[in-house]
Amino acid sequence: MLKLGFEPKKIFTYSKNSLLPLVVIGIFLVYFFSVSGFSEEKYHTVHTLFLVTAGIAFVSAIYYKIPCIAISTSYIYISYIIINGMRYTYGEDYMFSAGYNIWCLLLLPNMVLIYLLFKKNRPFRQWSWFYIFLFLETALIEKLQNQSIDADSYFFYKHIGMLNYPALYISVVCLFILLVRQVLKGKILNAVTLFSSIAVFFGVYFSDNLFAYSLFFFAASVLQMTSAYYYAYYIMYKDEVLDIANVKSFFKEARNYPLKYGIALMYIDEYDRLQKRFGSNKMIMLKKMFLSRIGKAYPKVLIYNYKKDALILVFKNLNTNESFEEAENIRRLLAKSIFIFNESNHLQLTVSQCVSEKKRSDTDAHEVLLRAEENLKKACKFTRNITVKA
């Protein structure tokens, strides 16, 4: 029986995904605390750099279809403008205005909300709903700005840094939620949301210093921009959900394979029926259990994600017969395995495979895979739970 459990070796992967954002925010923190003087010229320079990097990050995220980064970048930009507007409207007393304090209350909760809603690609129509939500927030702030609120009340007067107590507590809770999420999931978007939120937090906390305020918002925009490019490259060659290489990576790496290798194209039998019964999340869990079982029993086999219901297994330095024997052993192993979602869901599943060997006449790995695909389709018209040769 096989249950899906935590794998300690993934800690390194989680740390690797956090490395770029951690280095960026670390550089800005070291620079801020090491610089002795803040001139107006430096402020204008950092202010311009923020505007430029935020624009590049937003356009890049839209181009690469990363809604989480695109919307969070635009939200950081909007927050920067609103808080700057409060500063210029109220002068040194901006920290006591209702608008500033309410926006600080909503700042990091909105960052968490953006991550939770847009960590997966969504149509632009759903983006508009979030911007309408932001418009409603600003309308609420504008209405409260016109009310006679006592500036000496505990809610607005007691501050730590430039944050009132409720805003500070809510911000800490939000950062803790993002940190826990990063520890549990370790995804790139988790990391960039966490460290961008930290940068925004420091920017507001030190907002009485124009240079510090612009510097940390600039740090957040740099995080968004660099992470957009890193994430776009990452998902080009890797399946983030399964945490394995994808078919593009297979075609790229196959150029450096030895002259003799074989592949097994594996399809999960009755996948659509299972997906209707258990849902997409359970099927992702199932593929992870497949990967875990194969990886433990055959650690030398390279595995790539091909389609939602298919994997590519690569056997280096093996001919067709040897590859077929390995693939057949894997099919039998999976057929007799019991996969456990929970106490009430125990499954025994089968897979169908086609083994294809790299021939001298093949120009690249595309032909090897295509041959396996065509032969497996023919074989599966008559039966399932098989391993055939191309």
C-alpha 53/C-alpha 79 separation (Å) is 15
- Decide if 220 contacts 208 (C-beta within 8 A): no
163: its two tokens: 């944050």
Is the CA virtual torsion 61, 110, 160, 152 positive or negative? positive
Q: Classify residue 86 by burial, with Cβ atoms within 10 Å: 0-12, 13-18, 19+.
A: buried
CA–CA distances in Å: residue 51 to residues 22, 70, 73, 219: 22, 14, 11, 11
- Decide if 118 contacts 71 (C-beta within 8 A): yes
For the chain of 390 residues, list the mean pLDDT of each consecutive stretch of 10. Answer: 47 64 89 79 90 94 90 94 87 81 90 88 76 85 63 59 84 93 83 93 90 93 92 86 88 89 90 85 84 87 90 89 89 84 74 89 88 88 84
- Decide if 184 contacts 13 (C-beta within 8 A): no
| Per-residue pLDDT at 49 | 95
Domains of the chain plus CATH, in order, are 2-238 (no CATH), 244-389 (3.30.70.270)
Q: What string of DSSP letters covers 190-240?
A: HHHHHHHHHHHHHHHHTTTSHHHHHHHHHHHHHHHHHHHHHHHHHHHHEET
Name residue 345's beta-bridge partners.
342
Q: How many CB atoms lie within 10 A of CB 254?
A: 20
- Decide if 153 contacts 110 (C-beta within 8 A): no
Nearest to 144 by CA among 190, 100, 95: 100
- Element housing 324 (H / E): helix 320-335
| Per-residue pLDDT at 265 | 92
| Per-residue pLDDT at 202 | 94
pLDDT digit string (tens) for 323-367?
889 999 998 988 888 877 666 667 788 899 999 988 888 888 999
- Element housing 346 (H / E): strand 345-347
Q: How many CB atoms lie within 10 A of CB 295?
A: 14
| Per-residue pLDDT at 153 | 54
Q: What string of DSSP letters covers 113-154?
A: HHHHHHSS---HHHHHHHHHHHHHHHHHHHHHHTS---TTSH
C-alpha 112/C-alpha 176 separation (Å) is 11
- Decide if 226 contacts 20 (C-beta within 8 A): yes
300: its two tokens: 């030398």
| Per-residue pLDDT at 189 | 86
pLDDT digit string (tens) for 41-76?
888 899 999 999 999 999 999 998 889 999 999 999
* Helix count and strand count (H, E) for the chain: 14, 12
| 273 Cβ contact list (under 8 Å, min separation 6) | none
| Per-residue pLDDT at 2 | 46
- Decide if 123 contacts 187 (C-beta within 8 A): no
322: its two tokens: 């040897």
| Per-residue pLDDT at 321 | 86
3-state secondary structure of 265: strand
100: its two tokens: 């500033």
C-alpha 121/C-alpha 124 separation (Å) is 9
